[in-house]
Structure 1
Amino acid sequence: MNRCLLKMPLVLFLASCGFFDDSSSGLNPESVILEDSLPGMFHVVANGQQVVLGTDVATAKANERTEMHVHFDYDFLMGRSEVTCGEFNGLMTPRTGLLLQCASDNIPATNLTYFDAVLYANERSKVGGFDTAYTYVNAAFDAEKHCTNLEGFAFHPEVDGFRLPTEAEWMFVAGMVWNPNSGWNAGNSDYKLHEVCSMGTIEYGFCDMAGNAMEWVNDWLGGFRDTSLTNYVGPPDGGTLGERIVKGGSFRSEVSSMKLYSRGDVYTVTSSTLADYVGFRLAFGKIPNATWMSSSGKASSSRIVLLANSSTIHSQTGTFRTKLAFRNDLTGNLAFVDYSGGILSATEITDTIDVFHPDISPDGKRVAFCTGLEGVSGKSALYVRDLNADGTNLVKLDVESAAIPRWRVLENGDTAIVYVTDAGNNADEFAFKGASTWQVRFANGVFGMPEKLFDGAYHGGVSNDNLFAVTGARLLRANVLGQDVVWYNGEQACNASLAKDSSKRTLFLDFGGTTGRAFVGDNYGTHARLLVVDSSGNLVQTVAAPNGYTFDHTEWTSSGNLAVATLTNINGAHEKVVLINLSDGRVVDLVEGDELWHPALWVQRENFVANVLLDPDSAGVYLTVTDDPAAAILRYKLELLWTYKDWANVIVLGSSRPQGGIVSNNLPEPFRTLNLANVPNMMTVSDYLARNYVFPHVKNLKYLVVSLDIDLWHKEEHSEYNFFYKNYKKYPGFVYDENHDFWKNGYPEGLAEMTTYSMGMEYYQNVFIPSRGYDYAQPGTWEEFPAVENDSTWMSSCSENFYAALSHLENILKMAENRSVYVIGVVFPQSPNYRNTGSFGRYGIRRSEAPRLLKEIENLKTAYPHFVFWDENKMGFHDYTDIMASNRDHLSAYGAIQFTERLNILLDSLEGIVRP
């Protein structure tokens, strides 16, 4: 095997490592770590103990600060070593087909996703006769049988089974045995894995907690707070990036970079990440009264679990532009899920306003809600706020009482909200007629003047022509052409909702009444069936609740034959929110929690007409249900390309260095710039993008800026680190483009729009689309002692990889020369402190070798006159100061501004522009 492969990071991002930390817990391990009956496990006496997570070190990463104390009131078991390759293959190969290629059965099992690890834990539980700690609805696997996604994934801390250790558990044990000098590290490993427990003294039974392989732990990655928690198990989800935690350093880490508090890699780590230096060890045992802590810092003993992914939603609604809002009755807060992304998260807007009956605006950007409850008389306030994590731009309707808001679009295009003055019991005729139904326009964040529609509280919905309205709070009432009528033979009904299309159908729930039973042809209980009547009040359809549940809080969605509801279990708890497809009667689980009320589902239909020849399941689908940052980045870079292809004349290609180093919007006319740099990037990736996307479609291209990351040129071309080697085949859009010769015979109209409406991720959308591809980075430092993350002698064993990368650069230069396009090859600044090492930069090459190799690249301008070689690193003798650095080899926003200004000067000189 090529030694270079052992040193390849999976995904390169802007991040940095810490320094050696020899802190310990101060406990006597001999009294805390005991033998146990489960083979390979030790009993850890943690009950009554505590551990400190995070640090107060100012130079630590933001997600490692501040110190947070975690208390234990339970004991647990933990594995002596990481799970070995032989153990993993022996259990999982017969079950999933995944076979790890290992030098020895006794080295740690690596190249595994987080999902691979939890599936192994589940299988260990089954073999041992224990319950499984992890549940899921569906599993997705790649061509090598690695698990890349578990739809509806949930961890159950109350289960007595095998699992991954929590970060707190891992830290508690590691703090007693921490000694990076006694593990396999960059100084002694020869940059390869070694058999478990084969280095030095085994500390109190545990081995390899520092070095050899980094280790998955159970938690999602979240922030810390200056607080104390008991039985902490991490955040409820991974946020917009779906990040996970790895601990402990590896065979490729220098001792100085291993910190006990470190909780990640220099690369973004997600549940589907895999790398040859990341493995795992097991823990065992239930965690009683587990505590989660959200990104807002609020601790909770419950959480909201998402049971359906974006693809499932798309299969029902026909679009990814779908949002779900609902009340978390435990907190009284509004929660929502945006299904447009590949990574889903339930976001809760925390404040002191009690939220009932939310409804999402027609554009999906705002939510209206009230403080009153259907069936309960009394005053209610009506609010509108932005549907985002902060719930910004909160406004209140200034009336005495307003309840059950429902958005509508008027014939003139205005947006309005219909509400009632009282949502109480409508069985009393006098009380019902004493209330009224109103409408108020809402525009630019401001309410207009309320207008009365008619007497009676018709909070189930009003038709667009105002000639039809319904309500249900004891009786199913309708206002037909101004006349109030009672439907359903006067039997008890509730949760009425008028369809948002023109059918004037009403869905509702009953109490197992005579009329409903006669229509169904069977007896059923209260709320056991959803019922639908037509515009005359005649029953036309029914859907049964799933076994063991009843419906509550039923509502039509904004799309056709779909409704949402909560499911109530036999104990009366509103346990789930479900989507009901009235076309086929299917009930799809959406979210699960302790008490989830009043769901509202918004669906946006695409407002463009695409080329009918394009396959909507493939065209522009550059991302699927995945947390792969490489695909997510490229998805938005392709959206930029298709959107601006006829406008741009400057394109940036390369790695994370130009992605965070060239501010596209700062380059003035005539330089219309798109930053299409991506992560991870090999020169072959830049060649692929240039050959198949940039040169064929950017007709006005004049300048191509390409990063020359020569320290990264140790990577083998045919590997997973080249996205266009195999990884791209998981995403239909790239394969579709390839099968159509990348549309070189003509761009198909609608592809840009289909890309825009395809699955994405909110984080990357917010980063790349407004900035035209630039990724802002906070200031850090160049680091006084920057780590070398590769053997700097790799040119001796991997020179063929270097020259393969050089040949891809030449391919780009040939294409550019044929089109009279300038190629600006940039060597980006790295830490000037690499001058104090034997390495050119972060990933090696001897400093003694680098000048010759750089000169070899520069000499290409003889054969290619349009090639401009630009070295901003200058072997570390550059003028980019500490504040201009994000970390050891990336510019911060300040450095990017300086670099972009200089790029502008260079482009001016090539263009013949003299600016004042």
Structure 2
Amino acid sequence: MSKALVLGVTALSVTFLESCSDSPTQTEMGSSLVCSSSENCRDVSLQDGFALIKSSGKYTELGTNVKSAPQKERPQMDVKFAYDFQLGKHEVTCGEFNDVMGKDSHLKLECSNKNLPAVNVTFYDAVLFANAKSKKAGLDSAYSYTSAEFNKSGNCVLLEGFKFDPNVEAFRLPTEAEWVFAAGISSNAENSWNAGNSDFKAHEVCGKKDENGLCDLFGNVTEWVNDWLGSFRDTTITDYVGATNGGSLGERVIKGGSFRSETSAITLYARGDVYTVTGASSSEYLGFRLAYGKISNPVWLDASGDVVASNISIVTSSKKISSFFGISRSKLAFRNDVTGNLAYVDFSRVSPTVVEIKDSLSVYHPDISPNGKRVAFCTGQEGISGNSAIYVRNLDADGSSLVKLDVKSAAIPRWRVLENGDTVIVYVTDAGNNKDESTFKAASTWQVKFADGKFGEPSKLFDGAYHGGISSDESLTVSGARLLRARVAAKESTVKSKAEDVVWYGNEQACNASLNKTTKRTLFLDFGGETGIKFVGSKYRTHERLLIADSDGKLVSSVGAPAGYTFDHSEWVLNDEKMAVATLTNADGAHQKIVLVDTKDNSVTDIVEGDELWHPCFWTPSDKSQIASDWDADSVGHYVSAANQTNYLLSHKMSMFWNLKDSVEVVGLGNSHLWAGFAAPEMSKPAMNMGVVPCDMHCMHYLFKNYVLNHCPKVKYVVLSLDIDLWYNIDPRTDINAGMGGAAGFVYDQSHEFYPEGVDADFVKLVMDNATDDAGEIIEARGWHAATENLGWTDENGVSVMSGDSTWSDCLFNKNLANCLVDMDQNTCLSNYTMDVCVPDTNLNMCLAKSDLNQCLAIFSGDVDKLKDLVRLAKENDITVIGVMFPISPYYKTTGTYGRHGMRRSHAKALIEEIETWAEGKSNFVVMNENNFGDHDYASSMANDSDHLNKDGAKKVTARIDELIKSLEAKSK
């Protein structure tokens, strides 16, 4: 199911698990489960404006088993509560937001009425409000972060190092389960401000009140909740708090429907919006309410749907990591000792997540390959004797291409590249206690070539288990598993086999030795020995200092652990000369953090937090200075940013564009209709689908002029999606420029005038190095989203979704101030046109003071002009434009609206006639009206929803496009 499409489905009444004896009955539901006054909640300190929700011992249901619901809302999952919580009686108001945030806040909401819900706020804005309210009440904060990023409007679009702590008694956003439980007690979609009664605008809070005193859980404005968007399981979870992360896009959950929603689309299980929702999203119909209280035993579900009682949190950002290494392509691999699994983080992504590879193998001492694509690990650990096995697998979510080294015993793998270019893995036969020399020498160090996903034949390097690494010139190798041992090449000899085995650090106890291949400095930990104390100048605890010795074993520096912690599992960062990675252990011995240590300035930076995080390996590429010297490696291909998630598809499709640009002859440009409806792989000519969400004619014109014309030399046909219902009604905040969100890749393209001289292979390589995880899939599908579900044109009640009031088009077509004000009040008129020239004033008089109404409206009426100019540019380049009106639900024939987003059918008819008449005089522009106001031959079995085709419908319309192109070529011969 598409992440960008939302279905309208019949509201599902909430029922609690009847099989559970402690589930509430219908008579128990209502006021008995909600305590909204201090007089009735004497045993609870009730927060002002909040109600106590008596959820302890009760159940609720998340998701649904309704087959027509989107995949992200299925299956139904039962949640049990072991706690009560408090919930705000109403949505946070505009006045409350400004009062709590204060005059120094980046975001100041414009309040025409202070009792209206606070809207146009991101998830992060809501988090900052919750923290500010906690601070004002003298409480700790439930949310922590290292730094904040704001856009030009003052909205917070990213909190670096963001972490939610459920165990803190504080104000916070409600979890999805809490929200659903409260809403399910007595909320009713019919008793809400919705599309049928709202006049398509928000109303003062508590204009619609439930019998228990809670207000507007359904309708008015949709509400942020605390959860990442993840998958459900057909099971029962106690104290569920959401997914561990929001996937590659960082998606979040919103609940409740809004003043724009039909009642049939307001359900307890709905979790999203028309467009992808991330922490940086905002809209005029999205607000929030707060919850209060801690969750003592929170449970998450990971991406596989498995229960995670101890969540692992990333507490830094890709931007911060890039500041350390001068490049964003970095990866961290480590052992989750709670599960025994290998986990990793790819920091090249704008929203990095922890990915855990699950199988029955024990994973210790992971080491990432030189190219960053694979990881080697062993089943035994340093300091423990016995047989161990070494495996290599791809560093992907599946841990694919797993292979085992077929030897009796192998431990502590370390990758290296030989002078002849071969990639090998160095390992030891036993990684046990090295204090006894004879036992140490009984083990040995080996290396084995690894190529094409296979191991070669192992060869012995020397006696002794030297598993701390080998220098690039092979003159030094070290080991630390009780003693710090080194194998030092004889300085007078040029023969590599001649070396001296020595013990460094005064024969005192040491461990976790790691040799920097370039500088030949050894990183290690000790046990507060005399040698270390003498060097440091004061006593310290075991593992409290990270020590560094030079190539002769002489101590040269040390770094102290942060207060309250000691180091463990220390390693040099791969391909870096000064940075180290280590775990931090608390006073109880729990390995709670993985940190980066700058050995030059002694700074320590937290990067990941959890319960038991072991054996970190941090990789950065060795070719930082060699990559495409003519291109900026930290800009090229960086199309994703925290602020451009409104157009996430564009950022994800750019890698496809640069890979296919030289071969394609047909390019599809448009919105979600084309994204789902143009089956590019089915075309007889090489084609690609550049449909993105959202995309009006301004967007299509921008992509065509700057990218297609500059870089697609073989293109002869452009397929445009003529989504006229979105041309004028689209929110400027989601247009092509805002959708880019200042991402470095788009800025770089624009500043270089889109490379009129072309790009080279190094540029494309950089694009792929910085591509999103789904790049390969998008390239293979040529950008087509093949919707596989057959949900039909309408829901089970025969209804298709409406996302707005079709009368928004009145002002545009009347183009007359008086008529506009007759049809709707001035605020409603302008709220439907949040153009830059009028917003943020949203006041007719102020708008007219800046420009006349026609000038305001001209901002939107430019779509036809953009279409005409695109056709002109295409003709100059011998390109034919095919404008396709994709089929949508025939149900709209029974309404006054053209489609899901409006406009009036009469206005749509006039606009289509204008376009078709104009097209008759153009030799290179053809209109394919496959919708024909619902009079089409696309059966409901070809529909993914009321607004989009599924894969079968897409193949049908694509076949017709293909036949049209063939007929055009036949005529031209």
TM-score, normalised to structure 1's length?
Answer: 0.93
Give how far 1:267 is off: 2.2
Q: Which has the higher contact order (CA 8 A, sep 6+)?
A: 1
State which of 837, 846, 853 in structure 1 corresponds to 2:911.
853
Partner of 1:5: none
Q: Report the Cα distance in structure 1 between the residues aligned to 2:766 and 2:807, rounded to whole angstroms.
A: 43
Provide Cα deviations, 1:751-791, integer angstroms capped at 9, x if missing partner: 8347516755324x244333333333222322242112222
Distance 1:896 1:583 in 2: 58
Aligned-partner Cα distance in 1 for 2:274–2:730: 20
Q: 2:574 aligns with which of 553, 558, 579?
A: 558
**1:312: which partner in 2?**
320
Over 3 Å counting, the alpha-carbon distance change for 1:405 and 1:627 in structure 2 is farther
User: Which secondary structure does the structure 2 equivalent of 1:89 belong to?
Assistant: helix
How far apart are residue 91 of structure 1 and its match?
1.7
Query: Alpha-carbon deviation of 1:887?
Result: 1.8
TM-fit CA distance, 1:376: 1.1
Once the two structures are overlaid, the 10-residue window that deviates more, 603-612 or 107-116, is 603-612
Hey, what does 1:720 align to over in structure 2? 733
User: Which residue number in structure 1 is paired with residue 779 of structure 2?
Assistant: 769
CA contact (8 A) 2:646 2:739 kept: no
In the alignment, what sits opposite 1:891?
949
1:476 Cα deviation after fit:
0.9
Which sits farther off after the overlay, 17-26 or 706-715?
17-26
Q: Alignment partner of 1:375: what SS?
A: coil
Q: Deviations over 1:410-461 (max 9, x none)?
A: 3333322211111111010111111111222223333222222211111112
Deviation at 1:124, TM superposition (A): 0.8
| Corresponding residue number in structure 2 for 1:517 | 533
**What is the match of residue 890 of structure 2?**
832
Looking at structure 2, the residues matched to 457 and 218 of structure 1 have their Cα atoms a distance apart, in angstroms, of: 50
Residues 97 and 439 of structure 1: is their aligned pair in 2 closer, same or farther, counting only changes over 3 Å? closer
Give the 3 Å change call, closer, same or farther, for CA 446–645 of structure 1 in structure 2.
closer
Query: Aligned partners of 1:694, 1:507: CA distance in 2, in Å?
Result: 52
The structure-2 alpha-carbon separation of the partners of 1:766 and 1:14, relative to structure 1 and needing over 3 Å to count, comes to: farther
Instruction: Tell me which residue corresponds to 1:245.
Output: 253
| 1:478, distance to aligned residue in structure 2 (A) | 1.3
Asked if structure 2 preserves the Cα contact closer than 8 Å seen for 1:184 and 1:212, the reply is yes
Could you tell which deviates more after superposition, 377-386 or 215-224?
377-386
Matched, 1:162 2:171: yes
- Which of the residues 572, 587, 596 maps onto 2:604? 587
SS in 1 for 2:376: strand
Pairwise CA RMSD of aligned residues? 2.4
User: Does 2:513 match 1:496?
Assistant: yes
Query: Per-residue deviation at 1:892?
Result: 2.1
- Contact 1:342–1:761, Cα closer than 8 Å, also in 2: no
Distance 1:610 1:152 in 2: 29
Q: Which residue is equivalent to 2:33?
A: 32
CA distance in 1, matches of 2:630, 2:105: 38
Query: How many angstroms does 1:363 deviate by?
Result: 2.3
Letter paired with 1:703 = Y
Correspondence 1:270-349 to 2 at 5 A: 270-349=278-357
Aligned match for 1:780, one of 770, 790, 794: 790
Q: What is the SS of the residue equivalent to 2:968?
A: helix
Residues 1:578 and 2:595 are matched in the alignment: yes
Distance in 2, matches of 1:220 and 1:514, equals 50
What does the per-residue CA deviation read over 1:381-433, in whole Å, with 9 as the maximum and x for residues that have no partner? 22222222222232222222211111222333332221111111101011111
Q: Percent identity?
A: 49
Deviates more, 1:25-34 or 1:452-461: 25-34
1:6 match: none
User: Take 1:14 and 1:214, find their aligned partners in 2: how far apart are those partners?
Assistant: 16
Equivalent-residue separation in structure 1 for 2:615 and 2:633 (angstroms): 33
Deviation per residue, 1:346-403 (Å, 9 max, x gap): 1111222221111112222222111111111112122222222222232222222211
The one-character-per-residue Cα deviations of 1:848-882 (angstroms, maximum 9, x if unpaired) are 44333222111122443211111122222333333
Partner Cα separation in structure 2 for residue 606 and residue 862 of structure 1: 56
Distance (whole Å) between structure 2 residues aligned to residue 58 and residue 403 of structure 1: 50
Match of 2:861 among 780, 798, 803: 803
Deviation, 1:271, is 0.9
Correspondent of 2:54 among 45, 64, 70: 45
Tell me the equivalent position of 1:820: 878
* Aligned partner of 2:68 among 55, 59, 70: 59
Contact persistence 1:82–1:280 (CA under 8 A)? yes
Which residue of structure 1 aligns with residue 410 of structure 2?
Answer: 402
The residue aligned with 2:11 is 20
Q: 1:417/1:674 Cα in 2 relative to 1: closer, same or farther (>3 Å)?
A: same
What amino acid does structure 2 have at the position aligned with 1:658? L
Contact 1:632 1:760 in 2 (8 A): no
Larger displacement relative to structure 2 (250-259 or 696-705): 696-705
Letter in 2 for 1:30: S
Q: Which amino acid aligns with 2:593?
A: K
TM-aligned CA deviation for residue 728 of structure 1: 3.9
Q: Distance in 1 between matches of 2:164 and 2:280?
A: 16
TM-superposed CA distance for 1:740, in Å, is 4.3
Which structure 2 residues correspond to residues 526-541 of structure 1 after superposition, within 5 A?
526-541=542-557
Deviation readout 1:69-126 (Å, 9 max, x if unpaired) = 2111211111111011111122224232311223311111111111111111111111
Q: Which runs of 5+ in 2 are unaligned?
A: 17-25, 39-45, 490-498, 814-856
Give the one of 935, 940, 945 matched to 1:882: 940
CA displacement 1:623-674 (0-9 Å, x = unmatched) = 33x1743454323444444444444333221112212222333333xx3333
| Aligned mates of 2:143, 2:654 — CA distance in 1 | 36
Deviation at 1:605, TM superposition (A): 4.3
Q: Does 1:623 align with 2:640?
A: yes
Asked whether 1:390 is paired with 2:398, we answer: yes
Amino acid at match of 2:299: T
Q: Cα deviation per residue 1:220-265 (whole Å; 9 max; x = unaligned)?
A: 1111112212111111211222111111111000011111121222
Give the SS at the match of 1:139.
strand
Q: CA deviation at 1:279?
A: 0.7
CA distance in 2, matches of 1:68, 1:17: 21
After superposition, where does 1:402-801 map in structure 2 within 5 Å? 402-464=410-472, 466-481=474-489, 482-501=499-518, 503-561=519-577, 562-606=579-623, 615-624=632-641, 626=642, 628-668=644-684, 671-715=685-729, 719-724=732-737, 726=738, 728=740, 730-744=742-756, 746-747=757-758, 752-753=763-764, 756=767, 759-763=770-774, 765-781=775-791, 782-783=793-794, 784-799=798-813, 800=857
Shift in Å at residue 464 of structure 1? 4.9
Question: Given residue 500 of structure 2, which amino acid in structure 1 is its aligned partner?
Answer: Q
Mapped partners of 2:653, 2:301: distance in 1 = 34
Amino acid aligned to 2:902: G
Residue 188 of structure 1, CA deviation? 0.6
Matched residue type, 1:531: L
**What secondary structure is seen at the aligned counterpart in 1 of 2:806?**
coil
**Matches of 2:292 and 2:468, distance apart in 1:** 51
Residue 600 (structure 1) shift: 0.7
For the pair 1:110 / 2:168, whether they are aligned, the reply is no
Distance 1:832 1:755, change over 3 A: farther
How far is the alpha carbon of 1:737 from its aligned partner?
3.9
**Pair 1:95–1:177, CA change in 2 (3 A):** farther
CA contact (8 A) 1:321 1:605 kept: no
Q: Distance in 2 between matches of 1:40 and 1:168?
A: 21
Question: Structure 1 residues 609, 866: CA separation in 2 closer, same or farther (over 3 Å shift)?
Answer: farther
1:7: which partner in 2? none
- Structure 1 residues 875-884 or 356-365, which shifts more? 875-884
Report the counterpart of residue 835 of structure 2 in structure 1. Answer: none
| 160-169 or 876-885: bigger deviation | 876-885
